[in-house]
A = this chain, B = another copy of it.
Amino acid sequence: MVKRTAQDIRRGNRFDALRRVYAAPGAVSRQDIAAATGLSFATVANLVAELIEADVLVEAGYEDSGGGRPRARLAVNAGRGVLLGVDVAETAVQAQLFDLELRARHGLELPLPQGEVRPADVVDAIATAVEDLLTASDTPPSRVLGAGVSVPGAVEREDGVSVFSPYWSWREVPLRALLAERLAMPLYLDNPLKAATVAEMWFGAGRDIDDLVVVTLRGGVGAGIAIGGTLYRGATNNAGEWGHTCLVLDGRDCRCGKQGCVEAYVSTAGVARTVRELQPESALSHIRDGTATVDALARAAAEGDPVALEAVGRTARYLGVAVANLLNLFNPQALVIGGPTAERLGERLLSQTRRAAADHALPQSLRAVELRLSAVPDNPVTLGAATFALEGFLDDRKTFAPVKAGRRAARSRAAS
């Protein structure tokens, strides 16, 4: 039986309040947050006082409240420290350095070895990337509030263990412990589906709505699920493995060892296979790397190449039916499609996916949903990984040093 402790509730409320400030920095007051979250003004004033005390929020001017006392506008104290976000993908490690407002300040990408990659290779690439970012930005390690690391596959986040990698033959790798030998900073481990969804919750479609599904299309594919403004993780942090739901019983072989999985049709390798099935002799069929195939496909489709157009159409049909499955199961307010494949194929893919989803979703769920491309700028996975570090920082008891009760009450009163 799940127990909700007072601390869980407080943390949930803190994130809820803070998300409103990140969604509109410098523009929201305590009153706006109370109205948007349904929390009492007293609760919001208390949470804000704590966040100001911890130098996370600052008051940034006042708004006219129509005759009453002016209301302070809240903003994030961008200079409070830096957060790092790392995205370990199949062929490269991308890392970005963010200020506390989660604006990207510096970024770089390091390639991984081709073929089998050992845990030591990944640890080395991550640590090197982080060290290079700190040097390039002239950031002393003491200013790093935390680093979030996304690795593909199944992750035990509490223990910081990469349980299973879809690309490499490793199992139960204690990645966080290995990284801690190189990097003296709080480290948070999770996977790209979760990271992309958290980015969407703080900076994309999730700013306005609390129930959404975020589909990520890259080398692997999957979905992240936000319910009531909270990332849904499932019993063991493995929820959202939509890429390994069956779309075609006894269909294409999937990397996971099963047949007919969604991933076998709409991952970069799946798209490349669709191209080869359509025209084995086409130039597009001879590109060995899935991501490069999708790049070339996008260019060829833009030039009107009929094989490319047909390949995009078939991909959109597979994707649309698989998206309709999510609509029928989750009946979400929004479904967001992101990741490199969605970026490259863009509206061409989206419009046909919409039509296929409309053909297969139940009308009630179709009417309820907004289906769109991700509007999170840049790489949602690095941004989401950095957001995990932000959440971890905010969870840390050290962040909120004991404040004298009298002083906090005085702040609350002053704010009301």
* Contacts from A to B (Cβ < 8 Å): 1-6, 8, 36-40, 154, 163-164, 208-211, 223, 225, 227-229, 232-242, 244-249, 251, 256, 258, 318, 321-322, 324-325, 328-333, 359-360, 362-365, 367-369
Across the interface, A164 reaches (CB within 8 A) one of B235, B321, B364, namely B364
Asked if A247 contacts B244 (CB within 8 A), the reply is: no
A94 to chain B, nearest CB (A): 25
A245–B242 Cα distance when bound, in Å, is 12
Q: In the complex, which of the residues A36, A163, A249, A333 has the most CB atoms of chain B within 10 Å of its own CB atom?
A: A249
A10 to chain B, nearest CB (A): 13
A321–B163 Cα distance when bound, in Å, is 23
Asked if B211 contacts A333 (CB within 8 A), the reply is: no
Asked if B223 contacts A329 (CB within 8 A), the reply is: yes
Asked if B369 contacts A246 (CB within 8 A), the reply is: no
Chain B: CB-nearest residue to A155: B364
17 inter-chain pairs at a CB distance below 8 angstroms, sorted by A residue, are: A1-B36, A2-B210, A2-B211, A3-B38, A6-B40, A164-B363, A225-B329, A233-B331, A234-B365, A235-B332, A236-B331, A236-B364, A241-B365, A244-B362, A246-B325, A248-B249, A329-B329
A34 to chain B, nearest CB (A): 10
A38–B245 Cα distance when bound, in Å, is 35
A247–B229 Cα distance when bound, in Å, is 30
Quick one: given A210-B1, A227-B227, are A331 and B239 in contact (CB under 8 Å)?
yes
A132–B143 Cα distance when bound, in Å, is 74
Asked if B2 contacts A238 (CB within 8 A), the reply is: no
A413–B259 Cα distance when bound, in Å, is 62
Asked if A241 contacts B329 (CB within 8 A), the reply is: yes
Quick one: given A234-B331, A365-B236, are A245 and B325 in contact (CB under 8 Å)?
yes
A365: chain B residues within 8 A (beta carbon) = 234-236, 238, 241
Known contacts A2-B38, A241-B331, A241-B362; 11 further A-B pairs (Cβ under 8 A) = A2-B228, A3-B36, A164-B363, A211-B234, A239-B330, A242-B328, A245-B325, A246-B324, A248-B248, A249-B318, A258-B359
Q: In the complex, which of the residues A1, A163, A232 has the most CB atoms of chain B within 10 Å of its own CB atom?
A: A1
Asked if A328 contacts B244 (CB within 8 A), the reply is: yes
A233 to chain B, nearest CB (A): 7
A249: chain B residues within 8 A (beta carbon) = 247-248, 251, 318, 321
Across the interface, A238 reaches (CB within 8 A) one of B211, B240, B321, B368, namely B368
A4–B34 Cα distance when bound, in Å, is 11
